[in-house]
Amino acid sequence: MKFVKPALFALAFSLPMAADAHRAWFLPASTVLSGEQPWVTVDAAVSNDIFYTDHAAMRLSSLDITAPDGSKVKAENPHTGKLRSTFDLQLKQDGTYKIAIASSGLRARWETADGKRAFWPGRGQQPKPGDFEKAVPKDAKNLQVSYSSRRIETFITAGLPSEKALAPSNDGLEMQPISHPNDLFAGEKARFRFLIDGEPAKGASVTVIPAGVRYRNSQDEITVMADADGVASFAWPAAGRYWLEAEYKDGNAKAPATERSGVYVATFEVLPQ
């Protein structure tokens, strides 16, 4: 069983998943740029209100940036404060960059001999390969084991959009764009395919919320279900920034897990026609 980026796993999965829960996000200052090797600044946080730094900074230790040619790029000037992290990125290549933080791992819960509930990993714990076998009793009562993944992404394009950096890793819940994430316009329909370990995530629940929640009386969310091919379709109601979250769960996990789940989050900028 694979363990990926355990530090983020411990942070991300300690957060609740309900509609009013804390939400993680990247927020680029701009997603489409021109000129010779432009720079862009990106914020990263976990917040109560989308795109407002009111809860905690996102840690950047697992930050992964893919350049248009598929190579990896380091962030410049990374900084983590109390409520947000920030970093700069110079777009030295023309095309589309993918910015991501991903994590995955096992989770278990059971009852002890005296009837108390036990959990693994504990809050803030950073599991390593082999820890599951050491921490979870082989004769644990009412043992439930799940394999969970979480991925947070955004996309930035210099010049014309490209596709190479968008290729899925086939690990956990991911988004495979049909509509290019940096070629989105108000009033047009977007189509995104969701994959779980490289296969269509049929029935994945996808929620899209426009920025500015603080100044509205409602979320104004759009909620759709992915079809048999894992494709979710919806129209952008207006220009602006949007936060997307997809969730998926099934029973097709590898032992010792019996349940597989994934959460995918992305930020998009939709331009006016």
Which CATH number belongs to the domain containing residue 82 in this structure? 2.60.40.3880
Of 93-97, 114-118, 193-197, minimum mean pLDDT range: 114-118
Mean pLDDT for 98-112 is 93
Q: How many domains are contained in the chain?
A: 1
Mean pLDDT for 73-100 is 98
pLDDT digits (tens, 9 = 90+) for 23-68: 999 999 999 999 999 999 999 999 999 999 999 999 999 999 999 9
37: Cβ contacts below 8 Å, ≥ 6 apart: 90, 91, 92, 158
Beta strands 117-120; 189-196: pairing state:
unpaired
Of 4, 257, 16, the closest CA to residue 146 belongs to 257
Of 203, 206, 211, the closest CA to residue 191 belongs to 206
- Is there a domain that residue 119 lies in? no
- Is there a domain that residue 69 lies in? yes
Q: What is the reported pLDDT for 131? A: 86
- Is there a domain that residue 79 lies in? yes
Structural domain harbouring 162: 6-104+146-270
**Residue 143 CB coordination number (10 Å):** 16
- Is there a domain that residue 90 lies in? yes
Considering the chain, what percentage of its residues have pLDDT values greater than 70? Answer: 92
**What are residue 165's phi and psi, to 5 degrees?**
-70, -15
- Is there a domain that residue 28 lies in? yes
DSSP letter for 233, please: E
- Is there a domain that residue 184 lies in? yes
The pTM of the full predicted model, rounded to 2 decimals, is: 0.88
Question: Exposed e or buried b for every residue in 44-81, given b needs 16+ CB within 10 A?
Answer: bbbbeebbbbebbbbbbebbbbbbbeeeebebeeeebe
Q: What is the reported pLDDT for 21? A: 65
- Is there a domain that residue 200 lies in? yes
Mean pLDDT across the chain = 91
Residue 20 has pLDDT above 60, yes or no: no
- Is there a domain that residue 162 lies in? yes
